[in-house]
Every structure is written in structure tokens, then in C-alpha cells.
């Protein structure tokens, strides 16, 4: 495992760094700050968590 930039929608939102056999997410954008310092088994799991987080925190249009 190597550290890598994590993008969402073509924009960097954080980095993933190896930590005790997992990937620790370091958020660099406010809209994903709730996921900061969480650990994930894979980059795919991290990306899914970002998508789920953004989907659940998006305001619903009236």
C-alpha cells in the first residue's frame, strides 16, 4: 500500500495513507471532513463511504 490522492467528481478531497494494514483517510475538503481519520480496508471502500456521505448530507430540494 502506498499513499494516494483520493478524488471525487474529478476533484481531490483527501489522501489515503497506509496505517496498520488499512488506509487512513485524511480529508482536505470540508464537505468530507466527517470521514477524516477513519480507516478503510480498500480504496473502493473509502470511495463508497465518500459517495454515501455526500449523498446523505446533500440538502433535499423542495
What is the tens place of the pLDDT at every residue in 10-53? 999 999 999 999 999 999 999 999 999 999 999 999 999 999 99
> Which SS3 state, helix, strand or coil, does residue 51 take?
helix
Distances (CA, A) of 60 to 4, 30, 55: 32, 19, 10
Query: 21-41 burial string, b = 16+ CB within 10 Å, else e?
Result: ebbbbebeeeebeebeeeebe
Domain edges within the chain:
4-57
Average pLDDT over residues 2-6: 92
Look up the pTM and report it: 0.86
Amino acid at each position: 500500500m502506498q499513499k494516494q490522492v483520493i478524488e471525487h467528481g474529478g476533484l481531490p478531497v483527501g489522501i489515503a495513507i497506509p496505517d496498520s494494514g488499512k488506509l487512513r483517510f485524511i480529508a482536505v475538503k470540508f464537505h468530507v471532513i466527517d470521514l477524516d481519520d477513519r480507516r478503510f480496508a480498500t480504496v473502493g471502500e473509502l470511495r463508497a463511504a465518500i459517495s454515501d456521505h455526500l449523498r446523505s448530507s446533500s440538502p433535499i430540494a423542495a
